[in-house]
Every structure is written in structure tokens, then in C-alpha cells.
Structure 1
Amino acid sequence: MKSSTMKIIAGILSLVITLQLSTTVAFATVANVSTYSIAYGDWGVPTPFHHHRGPSYVLTSFIWDTLIWKDHEGYVPLLAESWEVEDGGLKWVFKLREGVKWHDGHPFTADDVKFTFEYLKSHPYPWGSDEIIEYVDRVEVLNNYTIAVYLKKPYADFLDHLIVQLEIIPRHVWENITDPLRYTEPEAFVGTGPFKFKDYKKGAYYVLEANSEYFLGEPVVDKLMLKCVSNPAIALQTGDVDAASFYGKEVDVVRELINITGLEVVEGPSYWVLKLIFNTRKYPLSDENVRRALAYAVNREEIVEKVLHGGGVPASLGIIYPGSKWYNPNLPVLSYNVSEAKGLLDRLGFIDRDGDGVREAPNGTKLSFELLCVKRYDREAELVKVQLGEIGVALSVKVVDWKVADSLLDKGEFDIAISGHGGILRPWTPVDWPAHTYVNEHLDDLLESFYSTLNESERLKYVYEFQQIIAEDLPVLTLYHPKTYVVYNSQKPVEWFWTWNGIGGGVPMWWNKLALIKVAAPTPPITPAAGGYGPPTMIYVGVAIAAVVAAAGTLLIYLRLRSRS
């Protein structure tokens, strides 16, 4: 009897231990993930002096912090825990967090913030430098953790266009560096952000390691990898990556991924525009009527239908996204009209004189251009080539990579180009970026008035006229706003979200670093199918354990009484 009793008790205890282990596993499912991978490209060395587009900026934002950041709802404190504005918008006071450390252990202080502003004035490369030079008069250190920024003139978007995207760099690292573009020593990657730079292999990957002492909390992943993958959809399905971006023509892929268990699909805002950029320094593209004729011949609806398959909409002619509060809904309509395009060129004297199907200018020069694009937009380029061919304009398509394209556009070494960018919730110049061949002093004056005026109705007047000029003068023809998506592994403790008004100054990307911080990231739902327990289930497990223990006690007493009898 004694032996049987002990076996029964041992069995009960085994059950209790099993339940207890189950609860331990449940907690482990929300503990740190050792490695989390994101599908990425190669955007070069990740320092604040090397990013030139949104993806490279977002990468550096994991390593360096700004004074203020944004989540899905609005501004949130980061290196600055509070701020206030004085003197009619000419003085901004920021109270900084105490106890923050750089990755090398040095304390972060107000001296670093003051140094950052001053260093970028003398080394104007990264985002924010132009605004600092134009608007910032001086920065004063009031104490170790308080600074005052004095402006030369009011700047209505001081927070949203400068402070939220200005990455603060350590004085002790950079103060003796005279050429920041060439500085890539290990110290160049010292920031205060949630991740530390570990490794970069060109064309393959970036590796970041968690900063366990991050002031907002420990990251939920120990290692963050950004991988260069040729097919993000396959990489997601095989588990090679945990999250990836899709937009525009990739909507067909998204429609397939949405039905796969374990993958979450979230559509984001289309704060991005693809443009046909004209080199307005070159004849005959310097003639706005020639640009208008070409614009009439481009069927934007056909491009959206044949290339995007419903993954976008024809873009606003004034560039600014229709969902922005600054969008002008009364812009002129430019409908596809081949007859109007041909008639306009005829009246300008561009006629096919030799019958070869290509028009000649009055001086005999062929109406022929090179169309520059990157591989991603070669289909759009071929459609534009066919469409302009119908009105006697010849195009030859030249496909290059992003860096080459941006460099050629920046130097003005192109005829027509297809390129795009985000940050289209507000106006900015050059409107033909990444080129800057278009010059319009009145447009510049309107932009200056828009940013230096604090009255919102006045600002609307300026920004409406700004868009009107672009729509009429056509230095660019906007093609479409693509739909954007993030697809990620829902079984891991990271729940991505879209940032209010875009990351930094308006980057339309989903990978906000706050999603990777334990105290900041929303808690993902844990289901039994995923191998874990949600909080209510944990209560049920506790009740079950208590019941089993009580039953064991009752059985033991019963067996003892029975043995005595």
C-alpha cells in the first residue's frame, strides 16, 4: 500500500511540475529573440554623414538618437524629456535626459547637442544641415542637461522638419574629425541608440547588437540583421527574414502572402511619389510648352493599371500627398490627350521633316532623349517610351543603380529621368530632387514664407500657390503614389507600425525603432497555437496547479486513514 501511495503522489507531483514547466515556457515565448532579420538593400556605410535616402536614414536611427522622435500618434520624448518654446518661436528650450550614455560609456550631455548643431554648420552634409544654416542662430548650454536653441527667424516646422530627424553625435568622437565623409573608424559608429553597430559586408548584410543599457528599455531582440535579399517574399516564407517592405507593383505578392499563417500584413500610407523629371537646363526641355506636350502624351492611368495592378494611384501634380493637410485639391487636371500633345508640338515647330517618325526641332535637332531610371522602374520607363513614341518623340532607356542615378541627377547629367522619394506631406525644394536643374525664384519665396509664417491660413495660401506653380510649369510630371505594405512574422515579439507623418522628417517606412523596445513596443497577442499562453490562460494554469495540489493532499489523508483502519 505504501508503495502504491508513493507512486500516486509521484504521479501527481509530476503533473504539477509539468504544469509549472509549461508556465516557464509560456514566459519564454515573450523573452528576447536572439536574432531578428529585415529584408534590406545596400545603402553604404551607416553613419550620420553617409545617408542620402530614407532607407539609409532609418538604419542609422537604430544607432543614433534625436532629441524628439515620433510614434504612431505624434511626438515622443527621446534624448530630450521635455521642451518649450519662447519669444514667439525664436527660442526653444530642451530639458535633456540624465544618465544617458554613449555606446562607449561616455556620458551624454548638453555639450554634445550644442556640438552637433555647430559641427553640421561647418560640415553641411547630412539631413538637417540646410535648416541649421538657414534658421539656427546659436545654441547655448544652460546646464549639463538643458540647452536653448535660438532661431534667426520663426520656423513653423522646427520640430517636425529638423529636430525629429537631427541625429545627435558625440563631441568626444567627432570634434577633431575634419572630413566626416572619410571617417569610418570604429568610433564613428558610437551613438546612444537601442542598437550598436557590429558589422557590415557590402552587398550582403548589416549586423547590429542590442544596447542592453538603452535608456528607454532593453531591445526585444539581441541581434538585428539587415539582409540584402533578391526575393523578400521567398525569404519571408523560408524564415530567412522576419520582416520586409512591399509597395507598388508588389501588391500581387502581398495578395499571396496575406493568406499565409504566421505572417501579418499591414498597409501603410503612400507618403511617396514617382516622378518623370525633366532637365530644365537643356533645350528644348527648358521650354515649359514642350514639357506640357510630353506630359499630355504620358498615360499615367495606363502605367498604374499595367505596372502596379492596383497597387497605387495617379499622383497629385503638385507632388504633395492628397492625405496631407497642405494638399491643394483645386489643382488643374492634366488628362492623357495625344491629339493635344501633337498639336502643341506642331505649333511649336517640332515636326517630322524627314518622315522617320521622329520630330525635329526648328533647328533640325531630333526630338530624342535619354530616359534614365533604376532597374525597379524599367517597366514604367518602357511604357513612357512607347507613349511618347506615339507623338514622334524618341527615347532610349538607360538603366543604372540607385547611387549612379542619384549622382547623375545631382550633377545634371541627364535628359529625362524616372525617380521618386518620400517626405511629401509638406512642400520642399528642389522640386525635381534628386536633381536640382529647375530654378524658380517665386517658388523659393513662397517656400520661405510658408516656413517662416506661423499663421496656418497664411501658410495654406502659400502652399496652395506653391503646388499650383508646379502643376502648371511641370518641371516634373508626377506619375503615381504607390501603396505600401509591411509583412512580418507574427510569431515573434515585434509588432511593427507606421509612424505618424513618417519617420524623421517624413520617411514613409514602417521600421520605427520603438517597436523593438520592450517598454515601448505594443505587446503582441500570444495564442496557444503559437506555443504559449496569454495572461488569462496563465490564471487558469495557476488554478489547475492549486486544484491538483489540493487533490493530492486530500488523497494522501484518505490513504493514511484507510491504512489505519
Structure 2
Amino acid sequence: MAQATSRRLFAAVMVGAVLAIGGCSGREVDARPGVLVAALPGAPAHLNPAITTNGGVHAAADLLYDGLLALDDQQRPMPRLATHWEVLDDGARYIFHLRQGVRWHDGEPFTAADVVFSFNDILLRFHSRTRASLGPVVDSIVAPNDSTVVFHLSQPYAPLMQQLDVVEAPILPRHIYAGTDPQTNPANSSPVGTGPFRFVESRAGAELRYAANDEYFGGAPGISRLILRVIPDPGTQVIALEAGEVDWLYGVPGAERARLLATPHIKFIETALNAGGSNCLTTVAFNLDRRVFSDVRMRRALTLAVDRQQFVDRVLFGQGSAATAPIASALLLARPSGVMLPPHDPAWAAALLDSLGWHRTGDAMRVARNVAGVPDGTPLQVGFKQLASFAAYGDLLRAQWRAVGVDLRIETLETAV
């Protein structure tokens, strides 16, 4: 429906997806140079980004780890734990040469064995996106020596280099996780990484405290300490920012954006939630196992009833763009040519629903009339599952579909860890 378009920028403190910075502080505790307090919307269940795609975990934990590569704002690979690489056999074999002298936060040396273990024993088993994307094409990942890792693929796979950053493939320490269950290892709550920050402590789900990794191969962060304070309510986050109780927000309520932009001591940084820029679409997917969606006319009617621009204006408050194709425009290698999504056309949607036998009287919801296998008078109700964080999307979708006589019933799901 809507597509975020802002790019990810890295501040000197190495915090990725940050939107607002408070330039003055009113607090006395920790109010000295070198300390930054950032607001988190929720306490992460753990700090192991290799076993989950949960955004809250990654927002907090990715600062502690590295991937083989990083991505710039055009999704071009940049060195991280790997300094350079070779692509051989027409793209079916990749050789990565690892950075020398890197140590884990506990002082143990980082080697190719950590990379092989992270992929074979953890990422390809527990990280759902990495498992789904790389699992079918990876024949083997091996380490011929301590400083080299070789990926053998069953076929050329162009997106590989975009899937080796800390979000999609964080590297974990083999000496801590080998022989354990990575889902219950105590290091998940007291992590050891190679990243720009070291874990210090967690305070009962209220805040996380990190210290700068002064030995970081990319250079020490610009601050000495980072405090991630849990403030679930977005409005309370804004109040804390304006009061000087926090310095950094990962996002602001859209309705507050214009006012905060006019506040002299608050600075906005253009960003996206994903490394390499935004490459995500917010979509509505139809369960084709349900009879009501088996006819393409029903799917087309519901699509025509969606006003994508309204989602940009009312949910994203202008911070995005209406998708024009089923693939995000940021994915340059996969940008479709000549593929367009249907326009917003509620009259056409209504005509299609009428042709399917779903009729309405006045502003009432549609009911079946001579629909095969459906008793006459049955209301046209559609179930919709969403996460709580997408409530604004669900509310607007319900209103748009209600305008053509479709009753959307929303079920809110619990967030996975």
C-alpha cells in the first residue's frame, strides 16, 4: 500500500535508525559529554539478532555485532568483517577475505570459524529471512583457513551481497554458542560481539547500557556510553525528548513532526528502518485458500478499493510514497518495468463486487445473493490479521473497504520475539 522512501544515515555515534536528536539536556544524571540516551519503544526479549527478525531486538542488538559486509544508502556492499571478496564461477562461488586483528568483546580472536558456525548452525536455522533466501541456494560454507570463508552456491544468486550485513547475517562467537541451544544461551541477555558498542548491563527491562568499543576496527564511536531507555508510548517519548531526559528517538509520531521540525534544538536525520535504505512495502496479502478470494475479481475489487496515497498522507504523514509496483523501488536490481498496480477506483470495485453476487442497499454492508456455496443474506466479511504497531493501517483499510460495502474484521496478533 505505502512505501517508505527515506534513507538510512549513520550518525557519529553509530546508532542506525534514528529520527530526532535533542540538542539540549535538562537532566543532571549522566549530563556530561560522551553519554547519549536513546528511547526504545519496547524492551527486547533478548539481544541475539541472529535468531530473529524482530525489529526491536535488531534496533538494540545490531550495535553490538557486525556482518561480513555493510550496505551504503544505495545498497552497495562495504567492508566490515570482510575487507574484500571475489566472485567466481559466474556468481556461484564467493570468497571473502576477513579482517585481521579483530577481537570479540571478551578478548577472544575473531576467525573464519565464527563465520562458518554463525551461518551453518544459527542463521540458516533460526533467522527466518536468511533461511528462506539463502537456504535454497547455499551448497556449503567453508573456511579453508582462519582468514578466508568460501560460499559455494548451487546457482548464481545476485542478492547475496545485500544479505550479509548485520541485519540479515550478524556474526556470533563460536566459542560461546557452539554446543548450546542458541535460543536459550545466557549470552542472549549478556551478549559478546565485535561491534562498535559493548554490552554493560540491562536494568530490569527498563534500560540497556552500552560502552564504546574503543578497539573497534572502524574507529571508536563518538560517544563513550549509550543508554537505551524503554519508553513504550510515542507521545511520552516526545515529552522526554523535549524535557531533555532523552537525546535520541528512533521515530516520532507523524502528528508531532511539523511542530518538532520547528523546534530549534531538535534535529531530524533522514533515515530508514533497514540497512541500505528502505526496501520494504506495506502490503495486504490474500489467503488464496479461502473461497472468497479464489476469484480474481474479488482480489481486484479489494485492491481497487485501496487508496494508497491516503496511507502515505494519514498514516505516514507524508513520509513515504505510494507504491506503484509489487516490488520496492529501492531494489534497483529488481525494479519491474511496465508493471503497475491498479488505480484507486471504488466505482469499479463496486461493479466487480456486484458482478460476483455481493450486493448492498444504501450504505449497508454487502450480502450474498446467488453466490455459489454461500447462503443468501450472508454478509461480506473479511478477516485481517495485523500487529499492534500496524493499527493505523488496519483502521484506514477498514474504512476504505467499508466505503465499498466490505466489512473488515481485524485481529491483532502478539509480536514474536
Same fold, judged at TM 0.5 (above): yes
In 2, Cα distance between the equivalents of 1:242 and 1:252?
A: 20
Q: Aligned residues: percent identity?
A: 28
Q: Within the alignment, does 1:235 sit opposite 2:244 as a pair? A: no
Q: Is the CA contact 1:120–1:129 (under 8 Å) kept in the aligned structure 2? A: no
Q: Which moved more, 1:303-312 or 1:35-44?
A: 303-312
2:163 paired residue number: 161
* Cross-structure match for 1:424: none
Q: Which amino acid aligns with 2:242?
A: Q
Deviation at 1:50, TM superposition (A): 4.0
1:137 aligns with one of 139, 160, 169: 139
What displacement does 1:347 show? 1.6
Per-residue CA shift, 1:70-104, capped at 9, x if unaligned? 34574332212222222322322222222211112
Q: 1:402 to 1:258 in 2, by over 3 A?
A: same
Could you tell which deviates more after superposition, 321-330 or 258-267? 321-330
The equivalent residue for 1:382 is 395
Deviation at 1:112, TM superposition (A): 1.6
Alignment counterpart, residue 277 of structure 1, candidates 275, 280, 285: 285
Aligned equivalents of 2:61, 2:186: Cα separation in 1: 14
2:250 counterpart SS class: strand
RMSD: 3.1
Partner of 1:29: none
Counterpart CA distance in 2 for 1:324 and 1:86 is 23
1:344 partnered with 2:344: no
**What is the CA distance between 1:352 and its match in structure 2?**
4.9
Structure 1 residue 224 corresponds to structure 2 residue 226: yes
Q: Is the 8 A contact 1:49 1:181 kept in 2?
A: no
Determine the structure 2 residue equivalent to 1:189. 191
Give how far 1:325 is off: 5.2
Gap change, CA 1:187 and 1:105, over 3 Å in 2: farther
Residue 181 of structure 1: CA displacement? 1.6
Counterparts of 1:54-453 in structure 2, within 5 Å, are 54-72=55-73, 74-120=76-122, 123-125=125-127, 127-162=129-164, 165-177=168-180, 179-185=181-187, 189-201=191-203, 204-229=206-231, 230=233, 231=235, 232-246=237-251, 250-268=253-271, 271-321=279-329, 324=332, 326-352=334-360, 357-360=365-368, 361-362=371-372, 363-364=374-375, 365-403=378-416
Residue 81 of structure 1 contacts residue 97 of structure 1 at CA under 8 Å; is this kept in 2? yes
Please name the residue that 2:29 is paired with. none
Q: What SS does the corresponding residue of 1:176 show, helix, strand or coil?
A: coil
Deviation of residue 284 (structure 1)?
0.5
* Contact 2:70/2:77 (8 A) holds in 1: yes
For normalisation by structure 1, the TM-score amounts to: 0.59
Which ranges of structure 1 fall in alignment gaps of 5 or more residues?
Answer: 1-31, 408-565
Q: Secondary structure at the match of 1:345?
A: helix
Q: Contact 2:52 / 2:126 at 8 angstroms: preserved in 1?
A: no
| Alpha carbons 1:121, 1:133 under 8 Å: kept | no
Q: Do the aligned residues in 2 keep the contact of 1:195 with 1:211 (CA within 8 Å)?
A: yes
Separation in structure 2 between the aligned mates of residue 205 and residue 134 of structure 1, nearest angstrom = 39
Q: In the aligned structure 2, how far is the partner of 1:245 from the partner of 1:99?
A: 33
Deviation of the 1:283 alpha carbon: 2.2
- C-alpha distance in structure 1 between counterparts of 2:200 and 2:245, whole Å: 20
Q: Distance in 2 between matches of 1:301 and 1:396?
A: 22
CA distance in 1, matches of 2:165, 2:320: 31
Tell whether the 8 Å contact from 1:46 to 1:60 is kept in structure 2 after alignment.
Answer: yes
How far did 1:176 drift? 0.6
Is the 2:176–2:187 Cα contact (8 Å) retained in structure 1?
A: no
Q: Which residue of 2 aligns with 1:51?
A: 52
- The answer as to whether partners of 1:48 and 1:126 remain within 8 angstroms in 2 is no
Q: Matched residues in 2 for 1:200 and 1:126: separation?
A: 26
For residue 201 of structure 1, report the CA deviation from its aligned partner: 4.8
For CA contacts below 8 A with separation 6 or more, give which structure has more relative contact order. 2
Larger radius of gyration: 1
CA distance in 2, matches of 1:381, 1:118: 38
Paired with 1:324 and 1:122, the residues of 2 have a C-alpha distance of 26
Shift in CA distance, 370/221, structure 1 to aligned 2, threshold 3 Å: same
Q: Is the 8 A contact 1:293 1:344 kept in 2?
A: yes
CA contact (8 A) 2:326 2:341 kept: no
Contact 2:49 2:57 in 1 (8 A): no
TM-score (structure 2 length as normaliser): 0.78
Match of residue 35 from structure 1: 35
**How far apart, in 2, do the equivalents of 1:151 and 1:286 lie?**
37
Q: Deviations over 1:287-312 (max 9, x none)?
A: 32211112222333344444444333
Aligned to 1:541: none
> What secondary structure is seen at the aligned counterpart in 2 of 1:276?
coil
What residue identity is the alignment partner of 1:35? V
Question: Residues 157 and 300 of structure 1: is their aligned pair in 2 closer, same or farther, counting only changes over 3 Å?
Answer: closer
Q: CA deviation at 1:159?
A: 1.3
Compared with structure 1, are the counterparts of its residues 98 and 60 closer, same or farther at alpha carbon in structure 2 (3 Å cutoff)? Answer: same
Q: 1:352 to 1:203 in 2, by over 3 A?
A: farther
Aligned length: 370
Aligned residue type for 2:177: W
Unaligned 5+ segments in structure 2 are 1-31, 272-276
State the one-letter code of the partner of 1:141: A
Counterpart CA distance in 2 for 1:77 and 1:47 is 22
Structure holding more helix per residue: 1
When structure 1 is superposed on structure 2, of 237-246 and 161-170 the one drifting more is 161-170
Residues 211 and 267 of structure 1: CA distance in aligned 2, closer, same or farther (over 3 Å)? closer
- Return closer, same or farther for 1:208/1:50 CA change in 2, 3 Å cut-off: farther
